[in-house]
Structure 1
Amino acid sequence: MIGSGNQALSDNNVVGQHANLEITSHASDWYYAVCAAMGASTLIFMALAFRKPQNDRVFHYITASITAVACIAYFAMGSNLGQVPIQAEFIRPGNKWVRSAGTREVFYARYIDWVITTPLLLLDLLLTAGVPTPTILATILADEIMIATGLIGALTRTRYKWGFWTFGMAALFFIAYELLFDARRHAQTLGGDAKKTFMLCGVFLISIWFLYPVAWGLSEGGNVIHPDGEAVFYGVLDVLSKPVFGFLLIWGHRKISSSSVGLRIRDRSQITSEKYNHGNTQQYGVHPEGPGANVGSHPATTTGHATHTNV
């Protein structure tokens, strides 16, 4: 007879190796709840995207991608998949939560999620502020270093894991500097709704991100809290930094066009129209400036400012 309720842990007990200390059905239920929240947020963000012109949907698509990837990762963790047992550095026999630990499960699925979604979160913010491409690339590289060092540290048994934690913290401080100082200056130059949205979402996100190293230190790092507590800690942070952040950002962008933050994105109708007009210009000798222009005139023989036409 098939049992009722969440059977994920028993169903997947034969998949891979398992640690002495791993999640219970309570954490599995929580992970599935967060998975549902991420999935629902994705559908809402996509629905809101279709209310905007095609060339103004970039932030909706980026934000929906973040929650979509997180939805898959949380499904894996709720199913107790995407994990590996790692020998805990600290054995705490006096701690009632982790005293059974010899090995502790580490969800590498979580880091796969982060290595995809955290650069997209930064992209949302940096594009909103109109930050130059080289700065965006440097900030995203620091983010990738932060996630990679976090994973390597989590998979390391010895005290050397804290060296990787330190590298990750250095990368986080660099990201914070770029957001709070460099990107903020660009946002102030733009002004208006773009500045307000960046300031609100930027401070909100970086405040949450500084709690992740604390969660890491209490779970994968220091083996202080049970994997169920780890699930709640990380889950709350992810809900705040993905769906809640996403709704704040999309709400702020309701009156912001892509062009106002320096993005030149053409939709299909614009491309077709430009090709049609360019074809007429070449075939019939129609001057781009319209009727009444001197078709045979040369810019070198005229005075004043030259006219540039985007094709």
Structure 2
Amino acid sequence: MTPQFWLWLGCAGMAAGAAAILLLAKRRTPTEEADGIIHGIVPIIAACSYFAMATGQGSITLPAGPDAADVARQFYVARYIDWTFTTPLLLVGLARTAMHSGMRRQAVVWGLVGSDLIMIVTALAFGLSEVAAVKWTWFAISCGAFLAVFYGIFVQLREENAAERADVRKAFLRNAVFLTGVWCAYPVVLLVGQDGLGLLSPAVALAVVALLDLTAKVAYGIMATMETTRAVDRDLAEGTAAAKPLRRAA
């Protein structure tokens, strides 16, 4: 299948996923409303990114290298713009799950978002670099920032999550393992794809990234939205503080 097929599939899948999440998300409480918006807007941004790439507006052509066998390659800038907005939103949503009863440690969330942005920007520099020493230095820095994100999730957020009731702790762990498990595949694809070692063809690399994106943004978004609904169902049944109804205009 051609690269264009995977780009249009990504666009259509993200649009359909956004609609599904927004329809599934309930708005009985501020928690449900906020989480529904967060997880609904992520695939909307991604759909715009895939539309830009599919129509030729989201990529640039980088020159061939000094080797005669080298050919020019398409570099998808829109992908990194997408990740700059969507991955912080996903982390904020995960932090809200971890601290379901109240966002207690804002600094941890800012640290997560900051580390994530460093990871994305340095991955962009890696993809744009032509000098091998510079390219792989950027890749190493990006991986280091990725490890900082892992630390924030599985150490700092989990410390806060320990104060929550058992069902919220389980929901957070499921969400964290699912999301980070998918995210672990991205640096591998960048490493072996056209921007790295060039072991994958452009079509295969696009296919893998599109499927990873749909999993991380749509499948995970649906999963996280349903986890929030289950937690709020229990809040409402027990009359906890988190179950405060959403105020609506008269």
- Of 190, 193, 197 in structure 2, the residue corresponding to residue 216 of structure 1 is 190
The number of residues matched between the two structures is 239
Bigger Rg, which one? 1
1:141 alignment counterpart = 114
Q: Which is further off, 178-187 or 231-240?
A: 178-187
1:111 alignment counterpart = 80
| Fraction of identical pairs, as percent | 25
- The CA distance in 2 between the partners of 1:150 and 1:71, in whole Å, is 21
1:246 alignment counterpart = 221
1:297 alignment counterpart = none
TM-score computed with the length of structure 2 as normaliser: 0.87
1:76 alignment counterpart = 52
- The CA distance in 1 between the partners of 2:49 and 2:63, in whole Å, is 23
* Residues 88 and 153 of structure 1: CA distance in aligned 2, closer, same or farther (over 3 Å): farther
SS in 2 for 1:190: coil
The answer to whether the Cα contact below 8 Å between 2:27 and 2:246 also exists between their aligned partners in 1 is: no
Instruction: Point out 4+ residue stretches in structure 1 off by more than 4 angstroms.
Output: 88-93, 260-266
AA matched with 1:249: A
SS in 1 for 2:61: strand
Q: Which 5+ residue runs of structure 2 have no aligned equivalent? A: none
AA matched with 1:222: L
SS in 2 for 1:189: coil
2:140 alignment counterpart = 166
Q: Which has the higher contact order (CA 8 A, sep 6+)?
A: 2
Q: Which 5+ residue runs of structure 1 have no aligned equivalent? A: 1-24, 94-100, 273-311
* Residues 198 and 103 of structure 1: CA distance in aligned 2, closer, same or farther (over 3 Å): same
2:7 alignment counterpart = 31
* Residues 198 and 224 of structure 1: CA distance in aligned 2, closer, same or farther (over 3 Å): same
The answer to whether the Cα contact below 8 Å between 1:28 and 1:80 also exists between their aligned partners in 2 is: no
**Correspondences of 1:149-188 after superposition (within 5 Å):** 149-159=122-132, 160-188=134-162
- Of 41, 54, 58 in structure 1, the residue corresponding to residue 34 of structure 2 is 58
- The CA distance in 1 between the partners of 2:65 and 2:187, in whole Å, is 17
The answer to whether the Cα contact below 8 Å between 2:232 and 2:243 also exists between their aligned partners in 1 is: no
Structure with greater helix percent: 2
Q: Which whole-Å deviations, capped at 9, do the CAs of 1:32-61 have from their partners, x for residues lacking one? A: 112111101111111123x33252311111
